[in-house]
Structure 1
Amino acid sequence: MTSPRFQGPDWTAALHHLEHGPLFAFSDWPHRTLPSIAAGVYSIWRDQQLVYVGMAGRGPLVKEPSSTKPRGLADRLRSHASGRRSGDKFCVYVCDRLVLPTLSPEDIQQVSSGALSLDARTQAFIHAHLGYRFVQVPDGASALSLENQVKVGALSCGPPLLNPDTRRKNKGP
């Protein structure tokens, strides 16, 4: 199986795939169909709830000959799978909205003393409860256009829980 690849300007098939395509569990990170270098959009799910949408590919996606570092989708999703909040808005949002409400007063005391890591709890939550779908697109501009459509509610499930865009009306890409 290869990763799904879509061209615009009609994003109907890509939107359908982001909502109904194969769901890959973060607990099985990384999935073999995830391209190591690609621009794209991904949707993150908790059961049937759209939690987050993101994109990758704004910067150069050229692989340097001496580097094996993933670029684009793989790099972005790897960062999310890590659970590390520093520099990753998705992990901050997951921690703030989904992990913190589950902490007991004792857990909070352990966090403040350094005995419990919020990053570790965030990673455990992501791996236990979340999965992702993704699509490849030609470039960063296409990814941004498609991501914006999902943020304003282009999927039948509505906008994502953690990063909806309520400022824009649902316009075509």
Structure 2
Amino acid sequence: MQNQRVVSSAVTLRPARAADARQMAAMSRDLIEAGLPWRYHTVHMLRLMGDDETIALVAHDHAGVQGFTVMQFGDERAHLVLLAVRPQQQRRGIGRRLVEWLLASARVAGIAAVQLELRADNPAAYRFYLGLGFDDLQLLPGYYDGLIAARRMRLTLREPAGGEGGG
């Protein structure tokens, strides 16, 4: 266990750079989009990184990108678009650190709620988000290209302006 902490502490977080896009895209293809058409290719990652309303964050060490996340910000809501951590780095707190960094940014930005969709066939990710305080809103059959269902989840950070339901 102590060894895992050493490895995890060697991983640092920073905003994604153009040079990271290729590794991020490959991780998305292999870890998030497996069995689906590949959408988040390198050019798409670069576009996301260039969007002023989007934060792309990487966890890296001497070997390169070990995890990444992408979140788009609106006025009241943010959408967690992608989160991936290399399998050999999972369960070492990297995913939690990435998401907590984005949640802190969302709070500073005055965001009322963060929403996401995740593959319904990924129970580990589902438990991960529940553990972060996300609520399960609904099951969306065939959400991913008519092939795989998704779970929509939301974390409420504050009451939305005007008392609306954040949905």
Q: Shorter-normalised TM-score: what interval?
A: under 0.3
Structure with greater Cα Rg = 1
Q: What is the TM-score when the length of structure 1 is the normalising length?
A: 0.24
Higher normalized contact order (CA 8 Å, seq sep 6+, divided by chain length)? 1
Q: What is the TM-score when the length of structure 2 is the normalising length?
A: 0.24
When you count strand as a share of all residues, which structure comes out higher?
2
